[in-house]
Protein backbone atom coordinates (compact mmCIF):
# COMPACT_ATOMS: atom_id res chain seq x y z
CA UNK A 1 0.00 0.00 0.00
CA UNK A 2 1.47 3.33 -1.01
CA UNK A 3 1.41 6.50 1.10
CA UNK A 4 -1.61 7.98 -0.67
CA UNK A 5 -3.67 4.81 -0.08
CA UNK A 6 -2.51 4.62 3.54
CA UNK A 7 -3.41 8.28 4.12
CA UNK A 8 -6.84 7.76 2.53
CA UNK A 9 -7.49 4.71 4.67
CA UNK A 10 -6.55 6.56 7.85
CA UNK A 11 -8.65 9.59 6.87
CA UNK A 12 -11.70 7.43 6.18
CA UNK A 13 -11.30 5.57 9.49
CA UNK A 14 -11.00 8.86 11.38
CA UNK A 15 -14.11 10.17 9.63
CA UNK A 16 -16.02 7.00 10.46
CA UNK A 17 -15.31 7.51 14.18
CA UNK A 18 -15.95 11.29 14.14
CA UNK A 19 -19.27 11.80 15.91
CA UNK A 20 -19.16 15.49 14.96
CA UNK A 21 -18.97 14.78 11.22
CA UNK A 22 -22.05 14.77 9.03
CA UNK A 23 -23.89 11.45 9.16
CA UNK A 24 -23.81 11.20 5.35
CA UNK A 25 -20.02 11.66 5.37
CA UNK A 26 -19.57 8.93 7.99
CA UNK A 27 -21.88 6.69 5.98
CA UNK A 28 -19.86 7.34 2.81
CA UNK A 29 -16.63 6.61 4.72
CA UNK A 30 -17.96 3.19 5.77
CA UNK A 31 -18.97 2.36 2.21
CA UNK A 32 -15.64 3.54 0.77
CA UNK A 33 -13.69 1.49 3.30
CA UNK A 34 -15.56 -1.65 2.29
CA UNK A 35 -14.97 -1.02 -1.40
CA UNK A 36 -11.33 0.04 -1.30
CA UNK A 37 -9.68 -1.92 1.51
CA UNK A 38 -9.69 -5.35 3.09
CA UNK A 39 -7.03 -5.29 5.77
CA UNK A 40 -7.67 -6.06 9.43
CA UNK A 41 -7.33 -2.48 10.65
CA UNK A 42 -10.25 -1.45 8.42
CA UNK A 43 -12.28 -4.49 9.42
CA UNK A 44 -11.61 -3.83 13.11
CA UNK A 45 -12.70 -0.19 12.77
CA UNK A 46 -15.89 -1.13 10.95
CA UNK A 47 -16.74 -3.82 13.50
CA UNK A 48 -16.08 -1.42 16.37
CA UNK A 49 -18.46 1.20 14.95
CA UNK A 50 -21.01 -1.44 13.95
CA UNK A 51 -20.94 -2.87 17.49
CA UNK A 52 -22.27 0.38 18.94
CA UNK A 53 -25.96 -0.29 19.57
CA UNK A 54 -26.52 3.47 19.92
CA UNK A 55 -25.20 4.21 16.43
CA UNK A 56 -27.55 5.45 13.70
CA UNK A 57 -29.25 2.65 11.76
CA UNK A 58 -27.89 4.07 8.48
CA UNK A 59 -24.30 3.88 9.77
CA UNK A 60 -24.85 0.38 11.19
CA UNK A 61 -26.20 -0.83 7.86
CA UNK A 62 -23.35 0.68 5.84
CA UNK A 63 -20.75 -0.69 8.23
CA UNK A 64 -22.41 -4.09 7.90
CA UNK A 65 -22.30 -3.92 4.12
CA UNK A 66 -18.63 -2.92 4.26
CA UNK A 67 -17.84 -5.77 6.66
CA UNK A 68 -19.67 -8.19 4.37
CA UNK A 69 -17.70 -6.99 1.35
CA UNK A 70 -14.41 -7.47 3.16
CA UNK A 71 -15.37 -10.91 4.45
CA UNK A 72 -16.37 -11.98 0.95
CA UNK A 73 -13.11 -10.61 -0.52
CA UNK A 74 -11.13 -12.48 2.14
CA UNK A 75 -13.41 -15.53 1.88
CA UNK A 76 -13.80 -15.53 5.67
CA UNK A 77 -17.04 -15.29 7.64
CA UNK A 78 -16.64 -14.43 11.33
CA UNK A 79 -19.72 -15.93 12.92
CA UNK A 80 -18.78 -14.76 16.42
CA UNK A 81 -18.48 -11.12 15.31
CA UNK A 82 -21.66 -11.37 13.26
CA UNK A 83 -23.70 -12.64 16.21
CA UNK A 84 -22.58 -9.71 18.42
CA UNK A 85 -23.65 -7.01 15.96
CA UNK A 86 -26.96 -5.12 16.09
CA UNK A 87 -29.67 -6.15 13.63
CA UNK A 88 -29.07 -3.31 11.15
CA UNK A 89 -25.39 -4.23 10.88
CA UNK A 90 -26.28 -7.91 10.47
CA UNK A 91 -28.81 -6.97 7.79
CA UNK A 92 -26.10 -5.08 5.89
CA UNK A 93 -23.80 -8.09 6.01
CA UNK A 94 -26.61 -10.43 4.98
CA UNK A 95 -27.45 -8.25 1.98
CA UNK A 96 -23.88 -8.55 0.67
CA UNK A 97 -23.63 -12.26 1.39
CA UNK A 98 -26.97 -12.94 -0.30
CA UNK A 99 -25.77 -11.34 -3.52
CA UNK A 100 -22.06 -12.27 -3.49
CA UNK A 101 -21.68 -15.47 -1.44
CA UNK A 102 -25.12 -17.09 -1.10
CA UNK A 103 -23.66 -20.45 -0.11
CA UNK A 104 -22.82 -18.89 3.27
CA UNK A 105 -26.52 -18.35 4.04
CA UNK A 106 -27.11 -22.06 4.52
CA UNK A 107 -23.60 -22.87 5.75
CA UNK A 108 -23.86 -20.37 8.65
CA UNK A 109 -27.66 -20.61 9.05
CA UNK A 110 -28.16 -16.90 8.30
CA UNK A 111 -31.58 -15.29 8.11
pLDDT tens digits in sequence order for the chain, 111 residues long? 899 999 999 999 999 999 999 999 999 999 999 999 999 999 999 999 999 999 999 999 999 999 999 999 999 999 999 999 999 999 999 999 999 999 999 999 997
Domain that holds residue 84: 3-107
Q: Is-contact 9 1, C-beta < 8 A?
A: yes
Please report how the helices 57-74 and 23-36 are oriented relative to each other, as an axis angle in degrees rounded to 10. Answer: 10
In the chain, the number of structural domains is 1
Amino acid sequence: MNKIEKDRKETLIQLLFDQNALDADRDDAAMDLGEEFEDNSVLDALIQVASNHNELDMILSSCGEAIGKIWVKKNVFNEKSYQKLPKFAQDGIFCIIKSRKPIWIEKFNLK
